[in-house]
Structure 1
Amino acid sequence: MKPVEEARAAPSVPAPEVSTARPEIALLLSVVFLAYLAQMTLNPIIAPLSREVGLAEWQIGATISIAAVMLVLTSQFWGRRSQSWGRKPVLVAAFTLAMVTMSLFALLAWLGMIGMIAGIELFLLFVLLRGIGFGTAISAVQPTAQAYIADVTSDETARVKGMAGVGAVQGIAMIAGAVVGGVLAVFDILAPLIAVPVLLAGGLILVAVRLRREPRHRLVEKPRPVSPFDARVWPFLLAGFGMYMALGFIQVLLGFVVQDRLGADAETTGLLTGGALLLAGLGLIVAQAVVVPRSGWRPATLLRVGGAIAFVGFTLLIPDAGLALLLASILVIGFGLGIATPGFTAGPTLMVGRDEQGGLAGLTTATAGLTFVIAPTASTALYGLGTAIPIVVGTAIMAVVTIFVLVHPRFRRLPVPASEPPPA
């Protein structure tokens, strides 16, 4: 296969009006927040829940990997449809599917805890609901928001800030989800599962009532897909893949690491895991809401600085030296990846035309999703061989990413887009 051309003339696709861009961005960020708040509320209790219903670590890892497969398979579809159908129809469909599947998932977990469903049947239903159903639904949210931000921002600084905004609300959702999931788990491990579809229902109502549907002339009739081998974007995709792979090697394991290193019971594990995720989200928010907007750094610089900081955090997580060092390492990892991620998401948008932005947004989301096809199953399998092994592997991956963004020439040849606003 021949590589895609290094540069390509931007297609003559009419640009959107921008008079309502800021209110629509704020509304979309609120929608992203609710979607990821629902997802993050599950994280503190997923490890103890699996043990309460009798599933093995690898089965939870496989369920999350299958959700990531759906993210990879459907993200480009949703990203392009957000340009051709409009944001509102895509998000209504996504939130409806997510709400239904997670309501059924909560019921399934309860049936598993009382012993009415067990074994392979329980595992397959976990895969169907949490893996296939919710994975397909959540894959629509981020590409839709990113494609819109790329569509209405015409200069590099505004685009980086917009992409950082998506990351910032995800960080806020991580903190809020850690609080909601961890605190509710103290009362009952099923309580966070009941909260998830309620949050998704709130997102559905917000989209249905408040989000305006674009007029037809603002849509892109035939959005173009972007190849992962496109010479304009693949170095960014590779860097992002490495970052999320390193994160994936510890994210799914965090509950198990907390429980096994500290000897905690299920409720305490949920609370402490929630606290660790809260710190990771705090680091991400400080990075993306404060450091990135004020720094004025270009995407390549964000990748280099953030990657180096995240590598330090991964290194600190390797030794089993108590709760304080564990929490500090998670905070540093969140801060470093919070700086690096807007470089990954904003950088390639400077390289493509407007009718490719939906496909690119789907591709960057799919790149992150692909890592969670591999990492959960691989990390949980390695964890069975030695509790430090997956953490060492994640640290090594992060080191390679940091070196790659320092030496590859693509990160020294980014174009600077025109600063004038798109025509109304």
Structure 2
Amino acid sequence: MNHEPEPITDAVAPPRRAPEAPTHPATQIPLLLATVFLTYLGQMILNPIIAPLAREVGLAEWQIGVTISTAAVMVVVSSQFWGRRSQSWGRKPVLVAALTLAALTMIGFTIVSALGMQGLIPAGLLFTLFILLRGIGFGSAIAAIPPTAQAYIADVTPDEATRTKGMASIGAVQGVSTIAGAAVGGALAGLGLIWPIAAVPALLVVTVVLVAVKLRREPRQELIPDPAKVRPTDARVWPFLLAGFGMFTALGFMQVLIGFVVQDRFALTGQVTGVVTGGSLLAAGVGMVVAQAVIVPRSGWSAGTLLRIGTFVALGGFVLLIPSLGIWVLIAAVLLIGLGLGIAMPGYTAGPTLLMHRDEQGSLAGLIGATNGLTFVVAPTASTLLYGVWEPLPIIVGATVMASISVFVLLHPSFRSRRLA
């Protein structure tokens, strides 16, 4: 059902249903954050080696772009389902099911990649298997993780300050996973491209066991049998979704291309490209962690202020990334992008939750996840195609998108309301 926009007041919207809020939130938040960290660590380990892997197995840039875009389509399709099920089934069943699927598909991806590097699978079949395993299977599974964590944080935090810090904590562990994933992926790439790939399903199996053994299953009275469905056109939501779409589209352009940019600008080998790309993504992760673990909690800035400041900082990084000014300038540019988006993201995720009822939080979290996934439907394919036309072009487009969002969050009244200003 579609909830009509309601007036923005200083109080959080009261729950409209009988189910009780979780009774032991403090004991579960660290465990959910650990789950987010381990899952995203596995995903981020692949980032430094995705470009050299494509060339090692004989796939074109656009084929890797389509594979990533397919995963993003599955995130879009699945996120609201997982978000609402996290409130009706409970967090534990959702996470166990999703993580098991992720582990199984990445075991298959590891085997297929190893065979592809030995030339034992034809390119057409290899591309199809990449789409099925890394795209459809893993994409469907990973879609469950952010909505489940975000809906839980929204469920147990009563005001804007604590909710913004809670959402920032999710972003912070994702940033730490980016740092660790870049470091681990880059280091393992030095031993051979198959090693970082094989590390991913191992991490996912550990995460499944952790959740199955340690995560408390909610009592029936805490569940919401029929969570409300929030529409993307809801006036309380769409400005935030548009801002998030723009930010993550620009980020997607950078993340997908950075390995190709590093290798082509500096004429590096595949293994060295993995190490340098890992270093640049490490810088982005450092920026995000500093933003979300230090700046956001200590600043006390509202959701609207975080969005305005963060998008302008990220824009500076994109502008710096356009020209070829050397490896260290490239790393500095990526650091600024990570810092800016790290500041802005908690405002994007926390802001609309303050305008929702409790039974809407799961659907909203899924909608945010779907929006983020939608950007990676567009960004990988578009950026790799533009890169084939002219190497700086996708970075210029990313900078233009970020500039547009910076102006939007500065001028739109939704980000200057009494609650969010």
Question: Which TM-score tier does this pair reach, normalised by the shorter chain?
Answer: over 0.9
In structure 2, what is the equivalent of residue 30 of structure 1? 34
In structure 1, what is the equivalent of residue 5 of structure 2? 5
Task: Tell me if the contact between 1:15 and 1:151 (Cα under 8 Å) persists in the aligned partners.
Answer: no
CA distance in 2 between counterparts of 1:6 and 1:14 reads: 21
Work out whether 1:203 is the aligned partner of 2:207. yes
Q: State the SS of the aligned residue for 1:187.
A: coil
Unpaired stretches in structure 1, ≥5 consecutive residues: 417-424
> Which structure 2 residues correspond to residues 2-401 of structure 1 after superposition, within 5 A?
4-7=4-7, 10-14=14-18, 16-17=20-21, 19-401=23-405
State the TM-score, normalizing by the size of structure 2: 0.97
Unpaired stretches in structure 2, ≥5 consecutive residues: none
1:300 Cα deviation (Å)?
Answer: 0.2
CA distance in 2 between counterparts of 1:334 and 1:93 reads: 31
Q: State the SS of the aligned residue for 1:315.
A: helix
Per-residue displacement from partner, 1:98-136 (whole Å, max 9, x unpaired)?
000000000000111111112211101000000000000
Matched letter for residue 209 of structure 2: I
Matched letter for residue 143 of structure 1: P
Task: Tell me if the contact between 1:351 and 1:415 (Cα under 8 Å) persists in the aligned partners.
Answer: no
Matched letter for residue 200 of structure 1: L
Task: Tell me if the contact between 1:303 and 1:343 (Cα under 8 Å) persists in the aligned partners.
Answer: yes
CA distance in 2 between counterparts of 1:17 and 1:229 reads: 27
CA distance in 1 between counterparts of 2:409 and 2:46 reads: 33
CA distance in 1 between counterparts of 2:73 and 2:181 reads: 23
Matched letter for residue 347 of structure 1: G
Q: State the SS of the aligned residue for 2:301.
A: coil
Matched letter for residue 366 of structure 1: A
Task: Tell me if the contact between 2:21 and 2:155 (Cα under 8 Å) persists in the aligned partners.
Answer: no
1:7 Cα deviation (Å)?
Answer: 4.2
Matched letter for residue 152 of structure 1: V
Per-residue displacement from partner, 1:44-70 (whole Å, max 9, x unpaired)?
001000000000000000000000000
Matched letter for residue 257 of structure 2: L
Matched letter for residue 67 of structure 1: A
RMSD (Å) for aligned C-alpha atoms: 1.4
Q: State the SS of the aligned residue for 1:252.
A: helix
How many residue pairs align between the two structures? Answer: 415
Bigger mean CA deviation after superposition, 96-105 or 117-126: 117-126
CA distance in 2 between counterparts of 1:356 and 1:33 reads: 25
Matched letter for residue 26 of structure 1: P
Task: Tell me if the contact between 2:22 and 2:222 (Cα under 8 Å) persists in the aligned partners.
Answer: no
Per-residue displacement from partner, 1:280-339 (whole Å, max 9, x unpaired)?
000000000000000001000000000010000100000011101100000000000000
Matched letter for residue 372 of structure 2: A
Per-residue displacement from partner, 1:57-108 (whole Å, max 9, x unpaired)?
0000000000000000000000000000000000000110000000000000
Task: Tell me if the contact between 1:54 and 1:119 (Cα under 8 Å) persists in the aligned partners.
Answer: yes
Query: Which portions of structure 1, spanning 4 or more consecutive aligned residues, are displaced by more than 6 angstroms?
Result: none
Q: State the SS of the aligned residue for 1:212.
A: coil
Task: Tell me if the contact between 2:182 and 2:281 (Cα under 8 Å) persists in the aligned partners.
Answer: yes
1:16 Cα deviation (Å)?
Answer: 3.7
Q: State the SS of the aligned residue for 2:351.
A: helix
1:381 Cα deviation (Å)?
Answer: 0.2
CA distance in 1 between counterparts of 2:357 and 2:21 reads: 17
CA distance in 2 between counterparts of 1:55 and 1:78 reads: 32
In structure 2, what is the equivalent of residue 420 of structure 1? none
Task: Tell me if the contact between 2:19 and 2:221 (Cα under 8 Å) persists in the aligned partners.
Answer: no
1:413 Cα deviation (Å)?
Answer: 1.7
In structure 2, what is the equivalent of residue 421 of structure 1? none
Matched letter for residue 270 of structure 2: A
- The change in CA–CA distance for 1:198 and 1:108 in structure 2 (over 3 A counts) is same
CA distance in 2 between counterparts of 1:218 and 1:411 reads: 32
CA distance in 1 between counterparts of 2:87 and 2:187 reads: 39
In structure 2, what is the equivalent of residue 422 of structure 1? none
Q: State the SS of the aligned residue for 1:240.
A: helix
Task: Tell me if the contact between 1:38 and 1:199 (Cα under 8 Å) persists in the aligned partners.
Answer: yes
